[in-house]
Amino acid sequence: MRLSLQQFNELSPADATSHLLTCCTSTHWAQTLVNKRPFIDMPAMLSHSDDAWMQAQKDEQNLLEAFDGHPQIGNVDSLKEKYRNTQDSAAHEQSGANDAEDDVIEALAQGNQDYLDKFSFIFIVFATGKSAQQMLDLLLARLPNDRETELLNAATEQNKITRLRLQKLLSDA
């Protein structure tokens, strides 16, 4: 459901939070942003979102909560039920994986598992506009990193995804 910024500003806190959780599943981020309303325009909302995300990043649990709202790239269908609130966004964002060769998909699946085993959270990447091969290349480039570096990388990618989803949520964006 698309909303105007004015409609969003007028929602109850619970309804506004519910809509925001379709953009990012960090409750800290969503509640912080709800409390900053009303927003005068989309750039102001995005700025407040960035600030709320910077605050949320100070606690690893907020990051992990946000990351948990994503299906693994190339594995959207198996998690539709669990992540029903973000599945439409995720499916479109990851459409580059839909046309990939089987060997790339298999390598992506293995890379995702290796990443999860190493870092204890899934690989987060702003997938919009990227082919499966490009996502695989990014995953393989990030896999040698340490956990602290990957938390920061994933948090940065999460914010890109969140900003795009906010813009999709609001029809006048």
> Each residue of 21-74: pLDDT tens digit?
999 999 999 999 999 999 999 999 999 999 999 999 999 999 999 999 988 775
Q: What is the pTM of this model?
A: 0.83
Phi/psi for 3 (5° steps) reads -125, 155
Residue pair 70/90 in contact (Cβ under 8 Å)? The answer is yes
Residue-range domain boundaries for the chain: 5-169
Using a 10 angstrom Cβ sphere, with 0-12 exposed, 13-18 middle and 19 or more buried, the burial of residue 61 is exposed
Q: Give the mean model confidence (pLDDT) for residues 140-161.
A: 97
Residues annotated as part of the active site: 70
CATH 1.10.3330.10 is right for the domain spanning 5-169: yes
Tell me what pLDDT residue 80 has: 36
